Structure 1
């Protein structure tokens, strides 16, 4: 079992924050996070591109190369693999692993479950040690049908997925029911209106991702700060100093 896979089998769930650039990842690592993920929205939006539209393959690879040598375990949001051909998805996964990724998310976007399973199998055949977190969008894009969710996740498990991800599922009863059908760790997307991290852990969830929340919260802080300044108030909240941010780049050069 790889070190990253082992984090999914610990006594407490893996809380995985999602970064969008070197500075955000370095700040999170300084907070003691052993593993950090990327967020596809945080890759696409800064470049003026849509998320989930297979428009950021090269940017995703570039970010992986930027972060992959850092002293934390990196999991990359690879959308749907940026291709429909399982072989091409596997080749992209091989590139990500070579750049330092230890895990990837692959989402089905409610497309063919059989095709998604074929992508998972191809990736595992090409890069056996890469942790594949197979995401189904039954709750994110669909109507949350429990039967379809179980069927898709079963197909992904059978294809070799190391873990499964069901963003949008926040109901404790639904999570408990789903866990009974799984043989691999379950990843849930944290929601401020959903169960706490501790509650999700008590339910048996193995991994809790923050997705694009931190990136969107950072944008929200921009809006709050400029509103305060415009209104004659001093901005509130934590603000790293110029020198502290500069030091993050110095640390990268020294590593």
Structure 2
């Protein structure tokens, strides 16, 4: 079975695929060692690690470099490419081919743009079609940012319309972050595995699965949690106490990357 088929099949199991998002080799290796069969990358983590704002299409080089860095990690890897780093479908398709050559089995491609705008759905569908023509065995998770940008809070119709166009173009999954209130309508109206963003205090992965969700991403949560834990540990040491929570030992980290 190809890695593409393996990754696709993870979206059709009894329980949703929980996809944790890594930002470097160490975080991906630790997640693989914890038993996660697949990890994604987080654009916020990649951008912040390089001192670049997220969502501005400025991290193509860093995104490709990370994909290559993750090649030895023993799990499937899907890459967050923001909006594709170009408005030219052929250029985005070539990026997809580079990522496949680096070992990626999927990408997450969003239709949100800087300035709280949405891409033209026809142009986005053209880009998806170009990717699938160039690298058919790449799982394209098409992200619809209507809810994320606060543009579809009352009527799921525009989201379903976009999802339908992306499906017709060849997308393998649809990602609608921020859409928890309208999940039943989206599950019923989308003919592909639905991916949502995990929200602390919201439904659990099992509860989302009962609603029909097939993939749950952690997004930037793990990166933000790691930042919070690092600052909390430094503060504890400064204040004369000990860091709370489990802390991997030096040798354990060495084994992860060895």
TM-score by length of 2: 0.94
Q: CA RMSD in A?
A: 1.1
In 2, Cα distance between the equivalents of 1:82 and 1:136?
17
The residue number in structure 2 matching 1:92 is 95
The residue number in structure 1 matching 2:74 is 71
- Following TM superposition, where does structure 1 have runs of at least 4 consecutive aligned residues deviating by more than 4 angstroms? none
CA displacement, residues 81-134 of structure 1 (integer Å, 9 cap, x when unaligned) = 110000100000000001000000000001111111111000000000100000
Q: 3-state DSSP class of the match of 2:64?
A: helix
TM-score by length of 1: 0.95
Q: 3-state DSSP class of the match of 1:133?
A: strand
Instruction: Indicate yes or no: 2:241 matched with 1:233.
Output: yes
CA displacement, residues 42-101 of structure 1 (integer Å, 9 cap, x when unaligned) = 110010001111110011000000112322111000111110000100000000001000
Mean CA deviation greater in 228-237 or 206-215: 228-237
Instruction: Indicate yes or no: 2:191 matched with 1:183.
Output: yes
Instruction: Indicate yes or no: 2:162 matched with 1:152.
Output: yes
The residue number in structure 2 matching 1:83 is 86
Structure 1 position 225, deviation (Å): 1.4
In 1, Cα distance between the equivalents of 2:121 and 2:238?
50
In 2, Cα distance between the equivalents of 1:22 and 1:74?
11
The residue number in structure 1 matching 2:176 is 166
Give unmatched runs, 5+ long, in structure 2.
113-117
Give unmatched runs, 5+ long, in structure 1.
251-255
Instruction: Indicate yes or no: 2:25 matched with 1:25.
Output: no
The aligned runs of 1:2-151 (5 Å cut-off) are 2-109=5-112, 110-144=118-152, 145-151=155-161
Q: 3-state DSSP class of the match of 1:2?
A: helix
Q: Does the Cα contact within 8 Å between 1:170 and 1:191 map onto a contact in 2?
A: no
Q: Does the Cα contact within 8 Å between 1:34 and 1:72 map onto a contact in 2?
A: yes
The residue number in structure 2 matching 1:192 is 200
Q: 3-state DSSP class of the match of 1:205?
A: coil
Q: 3-state DSSP class of the match of 1:187?
A: strand
Mean CA deviation greater in 1-10 or 52-61: 1-10
Instruction: Indicate yes or no: 2:215 matched with 1:212.
Output: no
Q: 3-state DSSP class of the match of 2:189?
A: coil
